[in-house]
Amino acid sequence: MPDFSLRWTRAVLLCCMAATQQVHASHLIQVQDSAGQPVADAVVYAETTGGPVVAKNANAEIQQKDKKFIPLVSVVQTGTSVSFPNNDTVRHHAYSFSPTKPFELKLYSGKPSSPIVFDKAGTVVIGCNIHDQMVAYVQVVSTPFFAKTDANGQAHLPASMPAGKYTLKTWHFKQPNNSLPPEQNVQIGNDTVPLIVKLGYKAT
């Protein structure tokens, strides 16, 4: 009997290892806050030494529904056009004072005629002039390799991302004011270890 149980354990271990390798777990990022809690809606992005990359013809959307901006957090590459369709029956007035992209979409219903182009990297905080509780965040990044964490604090960088050295940055809307996203040098490859990012502040 002891012999059997040992063999069984080994079989399970081998099985799990094989499954992990198939998903290229090194593209998986796990974000935790200073208390060790998984952080949802964190933006992770990997920059290369090649310098900024601007997106061509990229589009995104931040809708207004039930007096909320959806999604709360977006990550887009520099050069992306973002439309702001109003799917409420009340009118909204979206604006930002953020130096990265100040803009104003004056009181409107339906879809504003032209999108807003986010042409500079940085953080854009968006509000509504009519509804004070409405807020959205856009993190504009100059790399195509980005992702946002799910409810479990996990994000998958694009599987198409070439193996190599990157600077991995992590941004969250609870990041203390006037601080830069923490960064770390990482090697993206085909190894089985997920990258863990630990933020220096409490985000949950």
Helix (H) or strand (E) holding 14: helix 2-22
CA angle 110, 112, 43 (to 5 degrees): 100
| Separation CA 33–CA 201 (nearest Å) | 6
**Which range binds Cu ion by CB under 5 A, 35-43, 129-137, 150-158, 180-188?**
129-137
Smallest separation (angstroms) from Cu ion to the CB of 86: 8
| Separation CA 46–CA 52 (nearest Å) | 11
- Position closest to Cu ion via CB: 128
| Separation CA 185–CA 148 (nearest Å) | 19
Smallest separation (angstroms) from Cu ion to the CB of 94: 7
Query: Should residue 70 be labelled a site residue for Cu ion when binding is judged by CB under 5 A?
Result: no
Tally of helices (H runs) and strands (E runs) in the chain: 1, 17
The binding track of 76-95 with respect to Cu ion, each residue x by CB under 5 A or -, is ----------------x---
Most distant pair of Cα atoms in the chain: their distance: 75
State which of positions 153-182 bind Cu ion (CB under 5 A): none
State which of positions 109-128 bind Cu ion (CB under 5 A): 128
Kindly tell me which of 92 and 101 has the beta carbon lying closer to Cu ion. Answer: 92
| Separation CA 66–CA 86 (nearest Å) | 10
State which of positions 50-69 bind Cu ion (CB under 5 A): none
Of residues 6, 130, 193, 196, which one binds Cu ion by CB under 5 A? 130
Residues forming contacts to Cu ion in the complex (CB under 5 A) are: 92, 128, 130-131
